Amino acid sequence: MSFFGEFKIDGDRLVAKETGAQIPLTVDFAKDVLRIGSFIWLVNALRATRIVKGREPRARISFFPKKPRSYYAIWPVCQLADVKIVDDPEEADLHFYFEDREFLTAPRRAPSNRPSFNVGCFDIRKSVVARVFEETFGYSLAVDPVAHRGPAVAKSEGNGKHDGRIVQCPVEAPEPGLVYQRLIENTFNGVEHIDIRTPVVGGKIPFVYLKRRSRALRFSNDNHRVDLVDTDAMLSPSEQDGIVRFAKAMSLDFGGLDVLRCREDGRIYIVDANKTDMGPPSAMRGQDKLKAMRGLAGAFADLVDETVSS
């Protein structure tokens, strides 16, 4: 399927056919496309250098039921980790479940009995994320909108919708297809809302992104700035341990988590899990994008080496 076959234009928005995610067609979006294109060109140049030097891939990997396009994080990660993407599963040392769907009734069957990544991560709906979060951390993100009193966040179950809105509870009747969660004051200074985007690769957190947004855009994916930050500077050892245990419970070998720190109680809350992570964020500086992908690639190379040799 071509790139354009995966999207459709609906008015002033670009809509992903598979997920329904919507991207406003603006001047900023056009700039983002150029930034992404430049980054992909850079990764391809680095990949070509490795090929010219005759470096053998550390492993071969196939994706099912579809291959990732170059704007997904796993694509540059494979290039930088010297992991060759192959079409034929029989040629692969490893498989990777890759599908932009938040819910299946059961995991897809891998093409062979070779090791597979993310194969058990087939349900990342918001309600599931909230349930596993509570089981892992021992405190709750979800609220009962009929019993809860005060503000809460209502959002779609699906991934990538960015349609959260503040509602006053209690409500007479919860809306079908929505989840209701605690309203988290995720600001460091009371003004700028910050998501701690947390990549997880084989039980490691190589770094975090700080995604900064204005209050008006706190539930969107419109970042006015993204910083690359050392993990230990943002998350305590016990919090990192909880995040890793959460990822394991979700069968997420490679992906990204949206983590919010509440200014009122100091705790972290995992509000979203993504197994087909896009990246790096377009608002980042070019040198930080490459640094981030190299960090992910190093962690992924370790995961591949450990998996192939076991």
User: Shortest CA distance to 115 belongs to which of 244, 202, 206?
Assistant: 202
Only one residue has tokens 């550390």, namely 58
pLDDT-above-90 percentage for the chain: 71
Query: Which residues are bridge partners to 269 per DSSP?
Result: 260
Residue 2 has pLDDT above 50, yes or no: no
Query: Which residues are bridge partners to 172 per DSSP?
Result: none
Residue 17 has pLDDT above 80, yes or no: no
67-88 as b/e: b if 16+ CB within 10 A: bbeebbbbbbbbbbbbbbbbee
Comparing 103-117, 150-164, 260-274, the range with the smallest average pLDDT is 150-164
Selected residue with higher pLDDT from 164 and 37: 164
pLDDT in tens, 192-202: 999 999 999 99
Asked if 247 and 239 touch (Cβ cutoff 8 Å), the reply is no
Per-residue pLDDT band for 158 (boundaries 50, 70, 90) equals confident
The terminus-to-terminus CA distance of the chain in angstroms comes to: 35
Residue 68 has pLDDT above 80, yes or no: yes
Asked if 9 and 2 touch (Cβ cutoff 8 Å), the reply is no
User: Shortest CA distance to 169 belongs to which of 158, 154, 156?
Assistant: 154
pLDDT in tens, 189-236: 888 999 999 999 999 999 999 999 998 889 888 888 999 999 999 999
In terms of Cβ atoms closer than 10 Å to its own Cβ (0-12, 13-18, 19+), residue 275 is buried
Residue-level pLDDT at 9:
73
Residue-level pLDDT at 59:
97
pLDDT-above-70 percentage for the chain: 83
Per-residue pLDDT band for 89 (boundaries 50, 70, 90) equals very high
Residue-level pLDDT at 279:
74
Cα–Cα dist 285/297, whole Å: 18
Residue-level pLDDT at 191:
84
Residue 51 has pLDDT above 90, yes or no: no
In sequence order, which residues have a C-beta less than 8 Å from that of residue 304 and are 6 or more positions away? 58, 59, 61, 81, 83, 94
Angle between helices 126-137 and 237-249 (to 10 degrees): 130
Comparing 130-139, 252-261, 271-280, the range with the smallest average pLDDT is 271-280
Tell me how far CA of residue 156 lies from CA of 18, 85, 141, 162, 270, in angstroms: 16, 34, 15, 8, 16
**Mean of all residue pLDDT scores within the chain:** 88
DSSP collapsed to 3 states, the chain: CCCHHHEEEECCEEEECCCCCEEECCHHHHHHHHHHHHHHHHHHHHHHHHHHCCCCCCEEEEEEECCCCCCECHHHHHHHCCEEECCCHHHCCEEEEECCCCECCCCCCCCCCCCEECCCCCECCHHHHHHHHHHHHCCCCECCCCCCCEEEEEEECCCCCCCCEEEEECCCCCCCCEEEEECCCCECCCCCEEEEEEEEECCECCCEEEEEECHHHCCCCCCCEEEEECHHHHCCHHHHHHHHHHHHHCCCCEEEEEEEECCCCCCEEEEEEECCCECCCCCCCHHHHHHHHHHHHHHHHHHHHHHHHC
Quote the pTM value. 0.85
Residue 161 has pLDDT above 60, yes or no: yes
Residue 182 has pLDDT above 50, yes or no: yes
Selected residue with higher pLDDT from 270 and 39: 270
Per-residue pLDDT band for 1 (boundaries 50, 70, 90) equals very low
